[in-house]
Amino acid sequence: QISMENSSSVKEFILLGLSENQGVQKIYFVVLLLFYTLTVAGNLLIVLTVTSSRRLNCPMYFFLGHLSFVDVCYSSVTAPQMISGCLVENNSISFAGCVGQLFGLHFFGCTEIFLLTAMAYDRYVAICRPLHYPALMSRRLCGRVVGGSWAGGFLHSTLQTLPTALLPFCGPNKVAHYFCDIRPLLRLACADTRAAGLAAVANSGVVALSCFLVLVASYVVILVSLRGGTRAGWRKALSTCGSHVAAVILFFGPCTFVYIRPAGDPAEDRRVAVFYTLVTPMLNPLVYTLRNGEVKGAMRRLCRRK
């Protein structure tokens, strides 16, 4: 029987990199550092553009500014540790740091899911109920929605992190990942983790699946409402919704693959995780600016002022 003293015997974990080849690790260092730099620079530029432009004062850009800020935080939870780990042989992290990383990963990830859902509802109201848009999407309501997204992310992350942090870890300390996540940590626990694993999958699955269904339903309603409409109406709707649909696919696809499917190959999970922790946040600024003339115009005006 494992005593409580043994549960604290593991003081740090060793995070495995994307490759055991040191030469390949150095290539990963350059690529990942470039990705992270672009992620931070692109999303902070979006935040500065939205907050400084008087023309970008509608709810869609209010949500976009918060989404970009969350993307910076989300990538910063895992990317610095992953990048520095490419240059050292043993990429270690303390037990407290591991738990903090686990909490931050799910906190910002879940907050992003809720914000993407709120943006889908905003597009539904703007296209399907344009006359009621100012009343339905007031600034007070948008503030409450953003606050609820942060609170929901905090609750989800607490429910995910606390049971894992209380498990006894008394044996091997090599995490089969480049950051601390639930499944790799459950494999190291000195206890029966089947119940904790099912609870974690159910928690992540309920959040991801329910929000994804809301997103799908909102766009189905939008498409149905456009039946018989003019070609100009279709172009406008697709222009305003296309960037959001792309962001949803880029984020929900890899997350669903990792968290909802049965446990699979850890190496495959690591490769997919790079996509939703670093690549997707890097692409979001491009997705929302390349198809949006208002944002591009506001960025040009901001650059001229600077």
> Which tens digits make up the pLDDT trace of 96-115?
899 999 999 999 999 998 99
Report whether pLDDT(281) > 80: yes
Domains in the chain, please, with CATH?
Answer: 12-304 (1.20.1070.10)
Please report the pLDDT score of residue 120 as a whole number. 85
Cα–Cα nearest to 129, from 119, 139, 118, 121: 121
Q: Which of the residue ranges 41-45, 60-64, 202-206 would you say has the lowest mean pLDDT?
A: 202-206
Please report the pLDDT score of residue 134 as a whole number. 86
Of 14-23, 133-142, 249-258, give the range with the top mean pLDDT: 133-142
**Mean pLDDT across 269-276:** 78
More confident site: 241 or 51: 51
Report whether pLDDT(145) > 80: yes
Please report the pLDDT score of residue 262 as a whole number. 62
Please report the pLDDT score of residue 73 as a whole number. 94
**Mean pLDDT across 2-24:** 67
**Mean pLDDT across 254-258:** 71
Please report the pLDDT score of residue 239 as a whole number. 64
pTM metric for this prediction: 0.85
- The alpha-carbon radius of gyration of the chain (Å, integer) is 21
Q: Which of the residue ranges 101-110, 111-120, 223-232 would you say has the lowest mean pLDDT?
A: 223-232
Report whether pLDDT(198) > 70: yes
**The dihedral of CA 110, 203, 143, 286: what is its sign?**
positive
